[in-house]
Structure 1
Amino acid sequence: MSNENTVRPGSVNAYADPADPALPGTGFTLDRSKAALVVVDPQNDFLSPAGASWPIFGPSVTENNTVAHVEQLLKGFKALDLTVAVSPHYYYPYDHHWHFGGPLEKVMHDINMFERKGPISLEGFEGSGADFLEQYKPYILDGKTIIASPHKVYGPETNDLVLQLRKKGISQIVLAGMAANLCIESHLRELIEQGFEVLVVRDATAGPRVPEGDGYLAALINFRFLAHALWTTEETLRALNA
């Protein structure tokens, strides 16, 4: 017998924080003097309705208003002349010759996500799935934003993001972008291990929704265990401008 009060993945109730949490608060305070915004994979293949992965990520992106929230964060950090970094995802032809990969890796290769002609070629890049969302370009391509080398699976272990942040004296990260239970969670885990305080912006990300499960819900659960803070875009901007 169905129960109309049952919480279902994708419903608002499924994502609500527990009324009586068991885990303690961390006392995290956002400090503009040492904080940077890190946006992971702000690219068409994730965030555009024309993107390769939209059928599985689109509902979550739409519900969270992810595209607008990421732009609000970019605008807020740029207005204060604070550090912004992008950790992009690109695949070149030789990446498709890997001998093995996980389920989502195989999907990404099969649907040609983040496809580029080569690391020193921009042929066909403009407006492609690997390109940045058009409305983000004024913030990202301003000559000040750090555009890290590409990460290749999920985490920043394979790119220069941490080096770039250390060279700027950054020790706090405001983390946003795609996708919640994949690249965002992997970046969160590695940045914590590298000694950063990490605030995840919960409505500036989104996750896949497939028969195997709701990736955004899975990520939220782990964010509550791992992140130093889990705020909304509104809460983050309020603290940033306090």
Structure 2
Amino acid sequence: MSTTDLSKTAILLIDPYNDFLHPTGKLYPLLAESIRDSNTITHMQDLLTAARAHKIPVFYGLHQPSRAGNFAGWKHMMAVHKSQQENYAFEEGGFGGTIFEGMEPDLGNGDVVVSKHWSSSSFQNTDLNYQLRQREITKVVLAGLTTNHCVEASARYAYDLGYETTLLSDATAGFSTQLKDAATELVWPLFASRVMTTDEFIATLGEPSEK
């Protein structure tokens, strides 16, 4: 039997873009070590498979894509904006700005693609909180990229908004294994309700409903 109230639970999947996850992605070389050491892609795929089997909706927190004129007139660009501008990461309509194959939203599962974030948190200046509240979601399970940037920022925001927040330590990757491990082992436990492996989380779900 499930030990998680699935009617109140959603997966929050952060930035599963080709530019992060595919070997030809623009930012993949920076993540390759961490992806390999955590077997990140397999764990993200396992999470999605379990979510669909248990009808747990997946909310996609995606970074704003690169497009011509994205930062025209900006007077207060942060490092993340400058980096995106220089690398033209997550190009709109391009390969890098496409969701990694097999991780696409499934509307039949109740998945939701929320408005896109400009910086790190999938909650800041987006409709994510509104979309979750409309569905009376109170528990979020976070996975994706990158560990100590967008995933952690989104999790901290969820925590501050009162969500029960679970973070999956091996369904994520950072710009080095050292950074990823520092976040998942030292920082995440300070604020998350639970820090678990993907297999540990899936084990809480029990057998899928036959409905």
| TM-score for both structures, normalised by structure 2 | 0.88
Tell me, which stretches of 5 or more residues in structure 2 are unaligned? none
Report whether the alignment pairs 1:218 with 2:186: no
User: Contact between 1:149 and 1:160, CA under 8 Å: does it hold in 2?
Assistant: yes
Q: Distance in 1 between matches of 2:182 and 2:133?
A: 30
Q: Offset of 1:77 from its aligned partner? A: 1.1
Aligned to 1:136: 103
Report whether the alignment pairs 1:176 with 2:151: no
Aligned to 2:205: 240
Q: Distance in 2 between matches of 1:37 and 1:182?
A: 18
Structure 1 letter corresponding to 2:193: H
Q: Which residue of 8, 26, 30 maps to 1:52? A: 26
Aligned to 1:11: none
Alignment of 1:1-242 (within 5 A): 30-91=4-65, 92-97=67-72, 98-116=74-92, 124-125=93-94, 128-137=95-104, 140-143=105-108, 144-155=110-121, 156-209=123-176, 214-220=178-184, 221-241=186-206
Secondary structure of 2:11's partner? Answer: strand
Structure 1 letter corresponding to 2:198: T
Secondary structure of 2:70's partner? Answer: helix
- Larger radius of gyration between Structure 1 and Structure 2: 1
Q: Distance in 2 between matches of 1:100 and 1:50?
A: 31
Mean Cα deviation higher: 64-73 or 140-149: 140-149
Q: Offset of 1:115 from its aligned partner? A: 1.9
Q: Distance in 2 between matches of 1:234 and 1:189?
A: 23
Structure 1 letter corresponding to 2:27: S
User: Contact between 1:89 and 1:130, CA under 8 Å: does it hold in 2?
Assistant: no
Cα deviation 1:48-107 (Å, max 9, x = unaligned): 111111111111011111111111111101111122111111233332333343334322
Q: Distance in 2 between matches of 1:104 and 1:214?
A: 20
Aligned to 1:18: none
User: Contact between 2:80 and 2:119, CA under 8 Å: does it hold in 1?
Assistant: no
Secondary structure of 2:26's partner? Answer: coil
Higher relative contact order (CA 8 A, sep 6+): 2
User: Contact between 1:172 and 1:198, CA under 8 Å: does it hold in 2?
Assistant: yes
| TM-score for both structures, normalised by structure 1 | 0.77
Q: Offset of 1:154 from its aligned partner? A: 0.3
Tell me, which stretches of 5 or more residues in structure 1 are unaligned? 1-28, 117-123
Q: Offset of 1:152 from its aligned partner? A: 0.8
Q: Please tell me the root mean square deviation across aligned C-alpha atoms, in Å.
A: 1.7
Q: Distance in 2 between matches of 1:158 and 1:113?
A: 20
Q: Distance in 2 between matches of 1:102 and 1:214?
A: 24
Residue correspondences, number: 200
Q: Offset of 1:161 from its aligned partner? A: 1.0
Q: Offset of 1:185 from its aligned partner? A: 0.6
Q: Tell me which stretches of 4 or more aligned residues in structure 1 moved more than 6 Å.
A: none
Secondary structure of 1:94's partner? Answer: coil
